[in-house]
Amino acid sequence: MPNLPRIRRSRARGTGQVVVRPAPLVHELSASDLTWVNVVAPDVETALTLAERFGWHPLDVEDIVSKRQRPKVDDYEDDGYLFAVLHFPVFDQTVQRLNAAELDIFIGHDYMVTVPNRELLPVTRLFRRCEEDERLREHLFARGSGRLLYEVLDDLFDYCFPILDKIAHKLDVIEDEMFEGRSYEVVRDLSNVKQEIISYRKIIKPERSTLRVLERRVEAFLPEELELYFDDIVDSAERIWDILDNYKEVVEGLESTNESVISHRQNDVLRLLTVISVTILPLTLVTGLFGMNVLFPGEGTHEAFWVIVGALAVVAVATLGFFRLKRWL
């Protein structure tokens, strides 16, 4: 696996002043006695402020400011809220690779807080739509925090499928290039797409069991008629996993086929070189005999030269004819 590129760290020059990072923006919407707060990559101070406002456990604050947490669901039944950590695939432009983005979710009876460690476009877009469309906001918020959570997760999993489509397109392109004389370049492309499939599987595999737990625990925040909605989220995760399983088998099959194509072409080259070598071998023997420092019939005459050349031509034609008869050519 290729090494990750090193991250270049810029050094402060000149005055040596410390650059203060702006505090993360806390976006908030309220309707029908429900509040949705969305904040991207909060610092410790912002996390503590939210924890004090909503009554979160101190361990949850550590989780949302840490670098990476595994997918999990913590049910604080006595405190009346649910804490979930989920991961979703995003393409990291800095390293040109598929990475996992973390989404921390707090859900209570009258609020939902989404805390992605980096901007997740489906979450940002849904929040913006609710902000701009009052009717949509009232429609979603009136059904409770559980229904709002479903809408967020549904958009996030819908966002996962275009990434799968891009991987499928790459596999189709690789299959076409494999038989167009670009087998050696295909090795690099196969390595890249295989790395993407592996990264995607690492994200989705622990997510499947976490979503099943979330489906059971979130029922307390859902109206009875909406309990089946989360089955759709679990089905989406399982469908993604099945597609990734198929892609894994396809890329392994393409690797095997590409190796066979490269081996076949190498065998063709070796066969051609062997034919040339074996054809030249008797010619070398004949010229070696007449090149010995002894007398032979016709020595010193033009006729002897042309007789030898004719004999060489006959031997070469006979050798090639024998190869043709054996279907080695």
Q: What is the pLDDT of residues 86-135, one digit of tens each?
A: 999 988 777 778 888 999 999 998 999 999 998 899 999 999 999 999 99
Contact 149, 218 (CB under 8 A): yes
| pLDDT tens string 48-80 | 999 999 999 999 998 888 877 889 999 998 888
Secondary structure class of 253 (helix, strand, coil): helix
* CATH class, range 26-261: alpha beta
Distance (Å) of CA 39 to CA 20, 36, 50, 53, 90: 19, 10, 10, 14, 18
Q: Which residue has the higher pLDDT, 271 or 239?
A: 239
- Confidence at residue 225, expressed as pLDDT on a 0 to 100 scale: 63
* pTM of this structure: 0.74
Phi, psi of 117 (to 5 degrees): -80, -10
